[in-house]
Amino acid sequence: MEFRKIQFTGRSSYIISLPKKWVKEHGLKQGDSVPLLLNPDGSLTVFPREFREASEKKVLEVSGEYSPEMAVRLVISAYIQGYDVLEIRLKDEMPVYKVKMRKILQSLPGVEIILDEPQRIVAKSLLDEDEINLAEILNRIRSLVLSMFGDLELLVSSPGEREILRDINDLENELDRFYFLIIRAVNRLLNKREVTEGSGIIRRTFDLLGILFIVRNIERIGDHVMRIAENPEEVNVPHLREKFDQMIAQIEERDLSRIDNLMLELRREIDSIDYRRSIALESYRRILEYLENIGETIINMAVG
């Protein structure tokens, strides 16, 4: 670590010199401007160049060497990496691939297909990235999962209600959409080398990684709610709903005593379940384990 003295110049400015070796290595010279980032902990970061935005356009070349499922994953990957324009070029007329990719594009938040040709699709994100608020998206995700639990409680008490099952499936698809949106938003923040955003729940870089891990666990919870719905059995859905709601509230509250009590309750419940008895009980136990994972992540965020 190097130390430099703060000097006073003029009537109101303080200056600090930059290491000559660092300036030369990055091709800088007298008169160049360098960006400064004020971090939440009060430290300053000096960057040798202006921030570079992620490339606005991504071109995907799709051929028969990929499966249709792989082609869909490539589309999702380009979206969550923050590309604003996505151009898909098909080597041949591949109707099955095209239908699947068009469907996923139409499901991604803020994306519009602006060109649709036999061997080419162009889609554009119309999202205003500066208006994305992670706390608001998390609240939306929380509401979706609570609605899934509400439907699941009805389905467990009235098996065979196909309309309720369809609603749970629709909610799970909506959950996936917001999962992709959060990954995209976090990735854009990391690309800009920013660690804060409007909601206030992000206070340092680790919090961004924590949010990614939390939403991944929530997405898996949604998958297991759907699994129970497809294999209904008497499980304690109100308990799941209550513990989920209490744990997600801690993302903002970060009350370590409350999280500690929740974690102990979850562990006692997990240890008491004979998950080998049925698919539903196995998924019930997995949901509790995912809540435990979320709790551990929130503790790490709170300690920071």
Q: Which residues fall within 8 angstroms of residue 80, CB to CB, at 6 or more apart?
A: 180, 183, 184, 187
Residue 7 scores a pLDDT above 90? no
Looking at domain 132-303, its CATH architecture is Up-down Bundle (1.20)
CATH value of 57-125 in 3.40.50.10420, 3.30.1370.110, 3.10.450.630, 1.10.3210.10: 3.30.1370.110
How high is the pLDDT of residue 265?
96
Residue 274 scores a pLDDT above 50? yes
131 vs 231, higher pLDDT: 231
Residue 70 scores a pLDDT above 90? yes
Query: pLDDT per residue over 106-150, tens digit each?
Result: 999 999 999 999 999 999 998 887 778 888 999 999 999 999 999
Identify the band that residue 47 occupies on the pLDDT scale cut at 50, 70 and 90: low
CB 291, CB 266: distance < 8 Å: yes
Q: Which two tokens stand for residue 220?
A: 């898996």
User: Cα separations (Å) of 45 from 40, 112, 130, 198?
Assistant: 11, 37, 22, 20
How high is the pLDDT of residue 46?
74
Query: pLDDT per residue over 235-272, tens digit each?
Result: 999 999 999 999 999 999 999 999 999 999 999 999 99
Query: pLDDT per residue over 164-198, tens digit each?
Result: 999 999 999 999 999 999 999 888 887 765 555 55
The mean per-residue pLDDT over the stretch 148-153 comes to 96
The mean per-residue pLDDT over the stretch 216-238 comes to 94
Q: Which residues fall within 8 angstroms of residue 277, CB to CB, at 6 or more apart?
A: none
Query: pLDDT per residue over 75-99, tens digit each?
Result: 999 999 889 999 999 998 899 999 9
DSSP lists the bridge partners of residue 87 as 59, 122
pTM greater than the 0.85 cutoff: no
CB 181, CB 109: distance < 8 Å: yes
CB 102, CB 116: distance < 8 Å: yes
Query: pLDDT per residue over 210-222, tens digit each?
Result: 999 999 999 999 9
User: Based on the number of CB atoms within 10 Å of its own CB, is 100 exposed (0-12), middle (13-18) or buried (19 or more)?
Assistant: middle
* Amino acid at the residue 184: R
- Mapped to the 3 state alphabet, what secondary structure does the chain carry? CCCCCCEEECCCEEECCCCHHHHHHCCCCCCCCCCEEECCCCCEEECCCCCCCCCCEEEEEECCCCCHHHHHHHHHHHHHCCCCEEEEEECCCCHHHHHHHHHHHHHCCCEEEEEEECCEEEEEECCCHHHCCHHHHHHHHHHHHHHHHHHHHHHHHCCCCHHHHHHHHHHHHHHHHHHHHHHHHHHHHHHCCCCCCCCCCCCCHHHHHHHHHHHHHHHHHHHHHHHHHHCCCCCCHHHHHHHHHHHHHHHHHCCHHHHHHHHHHHHHHHHHCCHHHCHHHHHHHHHHHHHHHHHHHHHHHHHC
Query: pLDDT per residue over 12-30, tens digit each?
Result: 667 788 887 777 777 777 7
